[in-house]
Structure 1
Amino acid sequence: MVTAPEFSLLLPVYAGDTPAFLRLAYESSVDDQVVRPAEAVIVQDGPVPAPLEAELARIERDSPIPVRIVRLPENRGLTVALNAGLDACAYPVVARMDADDVSDPQRFRKQWAIMNEGADLVGTGMAEFESDAAIVAAVRVPPTGADRIREHARTHNPFNHPTMMYRVSALDAVGRYQPLGKMEDYWLGVRLIASGARVENIAEPLVRYRVGAGAFARRGGWQEAKTEWRLQREMLRIGFITRTQYVRNVVVKGVYRLMPASLKRVLFRRFVGSGLPGDK
């Protein structure tokens, strides 16, 4: 039997977000959901422009569920923002959402049912779009089943970060989010799997992910390559991958990160279902 939902929605916002996108993200994750969160925690990561401030005020005023806005005095980045938001969440389960994506109305009903069976983390598939959420450019299909997820995680991120629903106690047990460039979510997932947390994915794309201009360029370059290599060192350090896997990953991921954006786009579009690097 599925119990009444007792989970928080965690949504970070920063100065670069667009008010109209935020409204769509929030309403799709609250107003339109078959199973709604019990509360919403919005983390304002530093000062934001007046139009975005006005949209936050409107959400706080008109939301059908309680809203708590955590305002950080300066922009600290996603890791700090999410950890601050976790501190503010009143419920033991938290659902992630980004300020420019769109949730399917069935998303939380399906994730909550699995969480209610004892899972510590449940992700979903994700459909990419560029400007119109109704026009899908690609679909990211994650691995399902604990064994496949663990094996996949040795070479690729097995979870789509904006789709995650997780148990706060499981995150507390592994030290929550830790700084690792744009791969803090991958590192969190690896640590959860290594700790024995119960993880699952729903293959169905229950979140639509907005791919902005320059997305593939941001997935590459020396800085991203160095972050990738640092992640691989950490995975080797905790014994999650072997030294052979480490060498293989460093070479393959390094080559991918340093490719021209146009070539990365072709490869990602072709192998997106297989999990080539393309983390949000």
Structure 2
Amino acid sequence: MPAFSLLLPVYHGDRAAYLRHSFHSSVTDQTLRPAEVVLVEDGPVGPELTVEIARLIESSPVPVVHVQIRENTGLAKALTAGLAACTHDVVARMDADDISLPERFAIQIPLIAAGAELVGSGMWEFSEDAAGTELLGAQRNPPTTPAAIASYARFHDPFNHPTVVYTKSAVARAGGYAPLGLMEDYWLFARMIADGTLAQNSAERLVKYRVSSGAYKRRGGLKLLASELQLQRAFRRSGFTSRSQFVRNVLIRGGYRLIPEAVRRHFYRTIILRTRPR
């Protein structure tokens, strides 16, 4: 199996306990461990996270490259800095509040070894009750084959970002991460697909994605609508979507940003997650 780096960004809004669980689940508990961790500190993180980061670096069973950015720059720039620091061409993504299942990399890395350049997986949404007990929620089951991924990508992000493993070379060919209002991952993956990157998803749910009480609220509002419109215009200009697909996406995905939170949650789970455009 190829050696790989784990890319893990952290910023001041993260919680130390969540970071600890995320780190251990993606390193210590893995049946196939990364060769290194590249931990990107995106701006000042405060004393609690600073102490936790130092503990994780000291106790890590694999080397940790600690990238510190003086000011918070946003996810796209933080990931770009992290990718530059990765020793290996194969890079696995992880967020500081999610949890990898122990067999995650043992399933995904062989797919990279077999020739894929971008590999994601399904995942569980989860939350915690007052006692800290994990409560599993909705399943996110992405399309798995290259053809289904390419088709689905014209309407919805075909990858769950915290689950992906990719090659730096494929990311670089597509132009890397570009800031785009919380949708930089979707824009990158669309460009990678258009560039001919061999992409696939594992059907297994290999990551647990933390959903806070305000998760669906943050997916709406005028700011997200502006980002959505910017993304759809970028898709259309690049030729990634047709005119009819552009109109559909603006009406459905744009309208989704403006509906009430309770309706948005139901809409996302019953329509967007289950829709596979052809």
Q: 1:109-120 counterparts in 2 under 5 A?
A: 109-120=106-117
8 Å Cα contact 1:96-1:163 kept in structure 2: yes
Which residue of 2 is the match for residue 192 of structure 1? Answer: 192
- Could you say which residue in structure 1 is the equivalent of 2:219? 219
Q: Aligned ranges for residues 1-280 of structure 1 at < 5 Å?
A: 3=1, 5-131=2-128, 134-271=134-271, 273-274=273-274
3-state SS of 2:213 partner? coil
CA distance in 2, matches of 1:77, 1:6: 28
Work out the percentage of aligned pairs sharing the same amino acid.
51
Deviation sequence 1:171-220 (CA, Å, 0-9, x none): 11111100111110000110000000000001211000000121111101
1:102–1:133 Cα contact (<8 Å) kept: no
Displacement of 1:164: 0.7
Q: Matches of 2:125 and 2:234 in 1, distance apart?
A: 29
3-state SS of the aligned residue for 2:253?
A: helix
Structure 1 residue 15: deviation in Å? Answer: 0.7
| Equivalent pair of 2:123/2:140 in contact (CA under 8 Å) | yes
> For structure 2, which runs of at least 5 residues remain unmatched after alignment?
none
- Residue 230 of structure 1 and its aligned partner are, at CA, apart by 1.1
Cα deviation for residue 275 of structure 1 reads 5.8
C-alpha distance in 1, partners of 2:75/2:272? 24
Deviation of 1:222 after TM superposition, in Å, equals 1.1
| Normalised TM-score (structure 2) | 0.96
Distance 1:199 1:211 in 2: 26
Distance 2:34 2:222 in 1: 40
State the alpha-carbon separation in 1 of the partners of residues 5 and 88 from structure 2.
Answer: 6
Q: Relative to structure 2, which stretch is displaced further, 183-192 or 231-240?
A: 231-240
| Count of residues in correspondence between the two structures | 273
Q: Which moved more, 1:21-30 or 1:223-232?
A: 223-232
Aligned-pair Cα RMSD in Å = 1.3
**1:135 Cα deviation (Å)?**
2.1
Runs of 5+ consecutive residues of structure 1 not aligned to the other structure: none
**TM-score, normalization: structure 1?**
0.95
- Tell me whether 128-137 or 141-150 shows the greater mean CA deviation: 128-137
Q: Which runs of 4+ in 1 moved over 6 A?
A: none
Contact 2:156/2:272 (8 A) holds in 1: no
Alpha-carbon distance between aligned partners in 1 of 2:79 and 2:208, rounded to the nearest angstrom: 20
